[in-house]
Amino acid sequence: MILPIYIYGLPVLRKPTEEIDENYEGLQQLIRDMYETLRKSEGVGLAAPQVGLGIRMAVVDLDIMSDERPEFKGYFKTFINPYIEETAGEITTYEEGCLSFPGIHEKINRPDKVRVTWYDENFQFHDEWFEGFPARVVQHEFDHLDGKCFIDRMSPLRRQMNKSRLNALASGKVACDYKFKAVR
Ligand code: NI
């Protein structure tokens, strides 16, 4: 089932999430729905608050890029209760967008390597390093789980430059070609 994507301005995007366990009702269906929703909107990552749920989980689908980046063929990762344990490497800059902020793209600085602990969809524990693009994506998604958004990491100037667009989104003026839910 395709879920509506919650747009900036809705309070759930600003609330820290709660951990879940394997008894969370409907979890496997939710995971399937999140992958389906993500693919339909042509994004690479989707966090639970973006579908209106205050729970600590996110899905990442880099397989969608595998025509250009064959190393990402079959790259689907479900992150339950994930945490960034440490970061390393250089600070890199990359242009990010977010399905909850249609039309807004900005360069964001982040560390190039992160060590993440999480549980997968079978509640198997993982402790792994991510580097490069996957590291960027997980950092963006896990910010959502702390009630943060990529606009919080923009420079004050760039945020000011995007102010009218942000205000439009937060007042329900949204144009995008996927199913969404906005203020009003
Ligand atoms: Ni996002």
Q: Tell how far the Cα of 38 is from the centroid of ligand 1, in angstroms.
A: 11
Give the pLDDT confidence of 112-156 residue by residue, as tens digits. Answer: 999 999 999 999 999 999 999 999 999 999 999 999 999 999 999
| Predicted local confidence at residue 136, as pLDDT | 98
Q: Tell how far the Cα of 97 is from the centroid of ligand 1, in angstroms.
A: 7
What mean pLDDT, rounded, does the chain reach? 97
Residue with the two structure tokens 């003026």: 173
Q: Which tokens sit at 118?
A: 């999480």
Rounded to an integer, what distance in angstroms lies between the CA atom of residue 123 and that of residue 94? 32
Are 64 and 37 in contact by the 8 Å Cβ rule? The answer is no
Write the DSSP string, 104-119.
--EEEEEEEEEEEEEE
Give the pLDDT confidence of 69-104 residue by residue, as tens digits. Answer: 999 999 999 999 999 999 999 999 999 999 999 999
Q: Name the residues annotated as catalytic.
A: 141
Tell me, letter by letter, the H, E, C secondary structure of 124-183.
CEEEEEEECHHHHHHHHHHHHHCCCCHHHHCCHHHHHHCHHHHHHHHCCCCCCCCCEECC
Q: Tell how far the Cα of 49 is from the centroid of ligand 1, in angstroms.
A: 10
Tell me, letter by letter, the H, E, C secondary structure of 35-47.
HHHHHHHCCCEEE
Q: Tell how far the Cα of 144 is from the centroid of ligand 1, in angstroms.
A: 7
Residue 184 has pLDDT above 90, yes or no: no
In the DSSP assignment, the letter for residue 3 is P
* Residues in the chain, overall count: 184
Rounded to an integer, what distance in angstroms lies between the CA atom of residue 141 and that of residue 137? 6
Environment of ion ligand 1 (residues, CB < 5 A): 98
Mean pLDDT confidence for 40-66: 98
Long-range pairs of 124-131 with CB within 8 A, sequence gap ≥ 24: 127/85, 129/88, 131/89
Rounded to an integer, what distance in angstroms lies between the CA atom of residue 121 and that of residue 29? 11
pTM here is 0.97
**Number of Cβ atoms within 10 Å of the Cβ of 135:** 23
